[in-house]
Amino acid sequence: MAKTKLALFDLDGTLAETSEANVEAYRRAFADQSLAFNQQVYQGSHGMHWTQSLPLLHPEGTLEEFNTLRSAKSRHYAQLMALTKPIKPVIDLYNLYEPTHYRAVVTSASRANAETILKHLGLTPDLLIAADDVQRPKPDPEGFLKAMAHFGIGPEDTIIYEDSERGLQAARASGATVVNVATLLT
């Protein structure tokens, strides 16, 4: 039986608790460049694409410095998977959709980091849309709309699971049904 519905999941904070690994990877990347890392500013940038968060973390930084930090963060991040934990209730939902829905992950993370997390979690979505695949990051709905277009499934047959305010804005703008995972986990 052909699948005619789509379940889209954010990754960081939705399928996996990655905040500890992300903080430590950025802390190490900043230390590599002898820069101070402001964890409070980082926490305020939850759900942002790196092009939005790195200028907040390093206001005087250049694009070259941001790319260096981003590469170092990815390198450190891959070594910190033990700090990444599955969010079991959402993973259970993800697995429940397998027989009836296409499942895709739409994330603001880089493709390399997203693939590392998915491998760590043992998840193989039908499609991964990462930060590298969009021109306009969340809160723009581009990633969600790309996933729907890929499968030829409209918003009326799509459900999106998100956790960040930027992600929720993007999900709502897509026209799909939206579930704030914070409401599932309380």
| 135-159 tens-digit pLDDT | 999 999 999 999 999 999 999 999 9
pLDDT score for 45: 81
CA torsion angle for 151, 154, 157, 163 (degrees, to 10)?
A: 90
Contact (Cβ atoms closer than 8 angstroms) between residue 22 and residue 57: no
Residues 38-72 have pLDDT tens digits of 988 888 887 777 888 899 999 999 999 999 999 99
What's the one-letter identity of residue 96? Answer: L
* Three-class secondary structure of residue 135 per DSSP: coil
Residue 133: DSSP 8-state: G
pLDDT of 94 strictly over 70: yes
- The pLDDT score that the predictor gives to residue 185 is 75
Span 153-172, mean pLDDT? 96
What pTM was computed for the model?
0.90
